[in-house]
Structure 1
């Protein structure tokens, strides 16, 4: 799992520090934030103490209405568990008492200077935490976004993955990563493909060298990340190994337990491999909607047989 700290949240969301300046290296290990509502009234049966705690307008207004002694008990019960930090989304007015408690317990107290509602801020924060705390691996290959479909191109070194990526860029598609692709597992069914920062926007072409595709072709040819939907293995041409079956059985490649539909494309001079990849992406869309060209073709044949048009 990747490492994330309170300091990373401050940098990402431009948070103001009210307390706990010396505790910004506190680790963040949970990919969802928590709004302590029930905890303020004494229910701690399921209190997720390792999550970032968010205090919105409702929570702050409730605390403001309490007497000094009640506030001491309610807040004291929560800070006792030492969550990684508190983030207030309702402004910093009237937070002297909360600042005092957090300083005593050495817990970072942060304020979000944002125009979003608390719910909107939590959505953004959860998305950031999920992506940055997701398990990840790196694989050798190329990642492209073709017609909105995230495609992995794999194959042995020198097979032509980067050259193919360059052709796809010329046909209006987007590069995500070349040579080293970082895969992040966001859920049991969701795999995100991205770069490793060092190779961002770069494409390495044999005989030409290293290209910055954004500098050459504009921002539209690059995408920072994409959900992986297809895994395509590029192989050398093998005579008589391909057939014209109506539809192949679906194969899968598994990464960190996530199964990705996969297929093999053999390379041969003159073969429009970029066009085949575009066809594969479009066909994936049709499969998602439940359509099968082979099934439709067979239904037409059966209809002709039933009506006596074929004997």
Structure 2
């Protein structure tokens, strides 16, 4: 299971540390936050204690309505479960009692000036990616007309050169050589780089190039959802499928099935153009259009006439 430390979270969002500064090494292992409103009134049946606890104005204002004894009791009942950390939103100041409890129990208490709704949306998105199961594979990742594509094949087959051609045609580069895949959901696979090689593309006979420096910021993006797995392979006579529609094939990464296409290479073949066609064809299928269905309907209509 992947984890991150409270310190890393604090640095990522530039949070103010109010208590528990010596326990910033506490780990976060769950991708969702929680607002402990029900827990402050004594209901703990489904308390996700392993999540980051966010305290908005509703929670803080409720605690302020209590007597000192009641407040200490309710806060103590929550703090004793030792969640990774507490984060107070909207820059709220009326929380000395929280600081006392968190210092005693060694739980980081953090604060942000952002509103609760905006902060939770950002934090949930950040944690979802940071804690997502991931896999590094050899390949190239590009975004073609908004469609994320993973290019695979043996070393030297032409993956990087094909990506370079796609960049020249206005598409976007994501990663070369090492592609990091992150599973964000049952059917969602994100492709990104490994940070070290960010923006770099290696071209045989030319060397390493910085895509952003050569082609501008629009030629690069940090990540993309992978929806097509395209394998580049050597040309084989009589091995291409020339039927009206090929049998659907899939490649599985981290339990997510991605449509798979094989493109064989031969001098003169417009591989980048074929990849563009495959991306556009996938897009049309998602919107209910099938070229084969339309073609067969025309054939049937012609026979009837």
The question of a shared fold, defined as TM-score above 0.5 by the shorter chain, is answered with: yes
Secondary structure of 1:152's aligned partner: strand
Which residue is equivalent to 1:110?
A: 110
Report the counterpart of residue 60 of structure 1 in structure 2. 60
Matches within 5 A, 1:35-74: 35-74=35-74
- Superposed counterparts of 1:142-153, under 5 Å: 142-153=140-151
Other-structure match for 2:99: 99
Q: Give me the whole-angstrom Cα distance separating, in 2, the residues matched to 1:91 and 1:266.
A: 59
Write out per-residue CA displacement over residues 21-63 of structure 1, whole angstroms, 9 at most, x where no aligned residue. Answer: 0010100000000000110100000000100000001001001
Match of 1:170 in 2: 168
Q: Retained in 2: the 8 A contact 1:16–1:113?
A: no
Please state how far the C-alpha of 1:240 moved relative to its aligned partner. Answer: 1.6
**Equivalent-residue separation in structure 1 for 2:113 and 2:10 (angstroms):** 11
For residues 1-311 of structure 1, what are the structure 2 equivalents within 5 Å? 1-114=1-114, 117-307=115-305
Cα distance in 1 for partners of 2:9, 2:156 equals 41
Q: Is the 8 A contact 1:20 1:107 kept in 2?
A: yes
Q: Distance in 2 between matches of 1:275 and 1:157?
A: 21
Displacement, 1:155? 0.3
Q: Is the 8 A contact 1:138 1:183 kept in 2?
A: yes
TM-score (norm 1): 0.97
* Equivalences, count: 305
Structure 1 residue ranges without an equivalent (≥5): none
Task: Indicate the RMSD between aligned Cα atoms, in angstroms.
Answer: 0.8
**Displacement of 1:216:** 1.2
Task: Give me the whole-angstrom Cα distance separating, in 1, the residues matched to 2:90 and 2:146.
Answer: 38
Distance 2:211 2:107 in 1: 45
**Structure 1 position 2, deviation (Å):** 3.0
Deviations 1:210-237 (A, max 9, x none): 1111111111111100000000000001
Task: Please report how far the alpha carbon of residue 119 of structure 1 lies from its aligned counterpart in structure 2 after TM superposition.
Answer: 1.8
- Using the alignment, how far apart are the partners of 1:201 and 1:90 within structure 2? 36
> Following superposition, which runs of at least 4 residues in structure 1 exceed 2 angstroms of deviation?
none
TM-score, with normalisation over the residues of structure 2? Answer: 0.98
